[in-house]
Structure 1
Amino acid sequence: MSDYGHDVAFGVLLEPPVDRAQDAVALAELAEHVGLDVVSLADHPYWPDRLDTLALLSAMTVRTSRVTVMSNMANLPLRPPTTLARTAATLDILGGGRFELGLATGAQQMWDQIEGDGGPRRNAGQSVEALEEAVQIIRALWTSQTPVSFAGTHYHVEGVTPGPAPVHKMGIWLGAYQPRMLRVVGRRADGWVPSSPFMPPEYLPTANSLIDAAAEGAGRSPSAVRRGYNIEGQFSSGSGFLEGPAKVWAEQLTELVLDQGISTFILYRAADADTIRRFAAEVAPAVRDMVAIERSRAAPSM
């Protein structure tokens, strides 16, 4: 693996509990204020103790002015691709080109809840097929100049008028862990975002290899797929991944940039303002500095 040279970005994945809606928005504002680059929300529309992710992202969009706002990840089975495309484009327009669409198949252990909410029950293979179809429909609705038709196994649209168009070239980021889904990332996605509790750093090389091979097989450069990482850790005296002082965090994240091409780090389950401030003040700038030094050393001399 290698460093793909992308700008290094830092953000937070916030929780949207129904009893603390304003807290989530305030933390998004704080993230922007302290210099982070991304604010995002998970999406579990079948949980009534969570606010609707896309509605809350709308509030975060209008209360911020600089940060990228992102779904992390939108639940495809309960959000039809045509509606999702229009909602994402609306959020991008609202924010002046700051929305990125994170999309996932839906957690396999949640199919009872998804089906109970009126969504389809899919096995693992069907979920991957449906997501790849959805990505194609969404892109077409953003970019086509003529009515969109698509006849897939899971989605069928006929003569749909495209639009609205996003303000910027909006990326589609996929959450993926298994080989078949990782190959879809390589073929179709603009970005990939696994979570460290479910894909620890030692598994990243194999996953990255699958993405790169699939990208090349589709005639794409591996660098066309940005690599993100939802990271969970604690500022402590531990010895594991992201267990230690900020200096240890910075060293470990720098290594992931340079060796695994990860360029966006999103603080996972960031529940308090102090952790967000410390991440922004002590970790993010240290990683940027160390990456810049190493990249300058690796640059060919003139």
Structure 2
Amino acid sequence: MTVKFGYGSPDKLGDVPAILRLAERADRDGLDHVSLSDHPYVADLLDGYAAIAFILGRTERLSAFVNVTNLPLRPAPVLARTASALSALSGGRFVLGLGAGGAWDRITTMGVPELSPAEAVEAFEEAMQLVRSMSDGGRPAPTKHYPIGDLRPAAVAAPLIWTGSKGPKSLAATGRQADGWIPGHAADWLSDSFRWSRPIIDEAALSVGRKPADVATIYNFPGAITATPVRRTRDAEGRWIGGSPAQWIEELTDAILNHNAAGFTLFPRGSDPYETQLARWSEEVVPAIRAAISQPSPVS
């Protein structure tokens, strides 16, 4: 069983020294991925693609992705070429995180016309198809939202695509096209939104001859990793708030073995320093979970 463990990086202009220090530590400690946000309309945030390119250049094993790409601001044909370049430069360590676009009041400040919800989802699904068709073995063809000309595919394998779908139509597009799904609003396997969303993905996957397991669930997972156990690891509404390394290990091992969780991106919360919590994640929590899920099932 391969489960991905990563973290969400700080992403402010003033965070650059910490961003690089954390990435190098995560790479050394054996984490799988790092993610950064994509909000180009915010002046004090780093551009997500510039940042992950730099991180990939400073690391050897760590994968990186934008969580998630603001598609209306990064047209799919150009995004496909960016994906090919990052994959080639990093030896295949780039993952394409993709969303249909939210916060249109902010997106339009960048000079991009607003799409209707239906148009945004159409463009989202076409973008996934286009990225693959512009990769090794593909045949790029014009679509409704991307009327491209005569383009050749790049001789680079297509990246994994993980989406941040939320609505029914974009969830269905994820089921038909994507390799992974990142539930929105930090929803986890016990949340109502997960319970109604995941079946839409599974049904859509089956409708095109795929298996539900072809679309992994990778959770954005905020919480505090504390030095000592806490009395309650979830709040009154059932959201995970954190606990000691042992409490994290128990919770996430159960999520993997009993709820088909395929990955986690940690977003540290609480009063302990970010770097301290990331060290607990990479040195204590993740190795123990990997060991637990690698054990053979008991024979009945």
Asked if TM exceeds 0.5, the reply is yes
> 1:112-149: per-residue Cα shift (whole Å, max 9, x none)?
22111022312322221110011111111113465x22
- Residue 239 of structure 1 aligns with an amino acid whose one-letter code is T
Q: Which position in structure 2 is the counterpart of 1:100?
A: 95
Q: Which position in structure 2 is the counterpart of 1:3?
A: none
> 1:29-87: per-residue Cα shift (whole Å, max 9, x none)?
11112221111111111111111111111110110001112221111000010111111
Change (3 A) 1:8 1:26: same
RMSD over aligned CA atoms reads: 2.0
Verify the 8 A CA contact 2:225 2:280 in the aligned structure 1.
no
Q: Which position in structure 1 is the counterpart of 2:120?
A: 127
Give the Cα–Cα distance (whole angstroms) in 1 for the partners of residues 143 and 165 of structure 2. 24
Q: Which position in structure 2 is the counterpart of 1:159?
A: 150
Q: Which position in structure 1 is the counterpart of 2:74?
A: 79
The share of aligned pairs that are identical, in percent, is 35
Q: Which has the higher contact order (CA 8 A, sep 6+)?
A: 1
Aligned equivalent of 2:11, options 16, 19, 30: 16
Aligned equivalent of 1:273, options 268, 272, 275: 275
Aligned equivalent of 2:183, options 178, 182, 194: 194
Superposition deviation, residue 20 in structure 1: 2.2
Alignment pair present for 1:38 and 2:45: no
Superposition deviation, residue 173 in structure 1: 0.9
Q: Which position in structure 1 is the counterpart of 2:233?
A: 239
Give the Cα–Cα distance (whole angstroms) in 1 for the partners of residues 28 and 248 of structure 2. 22
Change (3 A) 1:190 1:102: same
Superposition deviation, residue 285 in structure 1: 1.7
How many residues are matched?
Answer: 287
Higher mean alpha-carbon deviation, 212-221 vs 281-290, is at 281-290
Superposition deviation, residue 269 in structure 1: 5.3
Aligned equivalent of 1:139, options 132, 144, 147: 132
Corresponding residue SS for 2:280: helix
Verify the 8 A CA contact 2:76 2:131 in the aligned structure 1.
yes
Q: Which runs of 5+ in 2 are unaligned?
A: 235-239
Corresponding residue SS for 2:39: coil
Give the Cα–Cα distance (whole angstroms) in 2 for the partners of residues 117 and 83 of structure 1. 17
Alignment pair present for 1:113 and 2:102: no
Q: Which position in structure 1 is the counterpart of 2:237?
A: none
